[in-house]
Amino acid sequence: MTKQKDKTALLHDIQSEHHRLDRVLDNLTPQDMLQGGVIGDWSVKDILAHLTAWEQVFLHWYRCGLSGKSSDIEPVGMGKKAIDALNQRFYDQYAGHNLEDVLANFLASYQEILAVVNETTEEELFSPGRYAWTGKYILADYYMSNTGNHYRWARQKIHQWWKVTKESA
């Protein structure tokens, strides 16, 4: 699933996608970030809270795997209905948070992700079956799907919304 073949490439891709997302966010005012309709009713703030929540779920899976514990949210075999329900739960959980807190949590979570990737060995990242919770995937797949690939998805959605919003203004 992942195209990265080593930790350096993995870190580069995560950081590059985050930087590209940051560049899009830099063009938005706080009022822009609170406007709904980016994805359904979601605002940019909601999307950033969503990204943070998934990063934290990944870190929870990883830490449970390291300690031999199971997670209350199992990643393997999670279907669309379960993912949609989890996304709704995250939305409901963070809807009342203010923008400043969401932005601070987004940055802190990203820094935590980078620190954990840096601490993870290449063997851990790229060895199939290293962790039972990853199923048929490798740990690097989970890193990318919960960070770099997710940042790309968010950037594209926000960019599309912003383009339409500015054209109609």
pLDDT band at residue 79, thresholds of 50, 70 and 90?
confident
Look at residue 129 in the predicted model and tell me its pLDDT.
87
Lowest mean pLDDT among 13-27, 103-117, 129-143: 129-143
pLDDT, position 69: 82
As a whole number, mean pLDDT of residues 38-63 equals: 96
CATH number at residue 14: 1.20.120.450
Q: What is the mean pLDDT of the chain?
A: 93
**Helix, strand or coil, per DSSP, at residue 22:** helix
Give 57-125 as a DSSP string: HHHHHHHHHHHTPPPSS--TT--HHHHHHHHHHHHHHHTTS-HHHHHHHHHHHHHHHHHHHHHS-HHHH
In this structure, is residue 119 part of a structural domain? yes
* Tokens coding 112: 């935590």
The CA R_g of the chain, rounded to the nearest whole Å, is 16
Residue identified by tokens 């992942």 is 2
Whether the per-residue pLDDT at 71 is higher than 80: the answer is: no
pLDDT score at 76:
64
Our separate counts of H helices and E strands in the chain read 8, 0
Is 112 within the bounds of a domain? yes
Residue 47 lies in a domain: yes
Residue 1 in domain: no
Domain count within the chain: 1
* Exposure class string for 146-164: b at 16+ Cβ within 10 A, else e: bbbbbbbbbbebbeebbee
Residue 95 has pLDDT above 90, yes or no: yes
Contact between 119 and 11 under an 8 Å Cβ cutoff? The reply is: no
42 located within any domain: yes
* Rounded Cα–Cα distance for residues 148 and 22 (Å): 12
How many C-beta atoms lie closer than 10 Å to residue 50's C-beta?
21
Range of the domain at 20: 7-164
Residue 124 lies in a domain: yes
Q: Convert the pLDDT of each residue in 98-115 to its tens digit.
A: 999 999 999 999 999 999
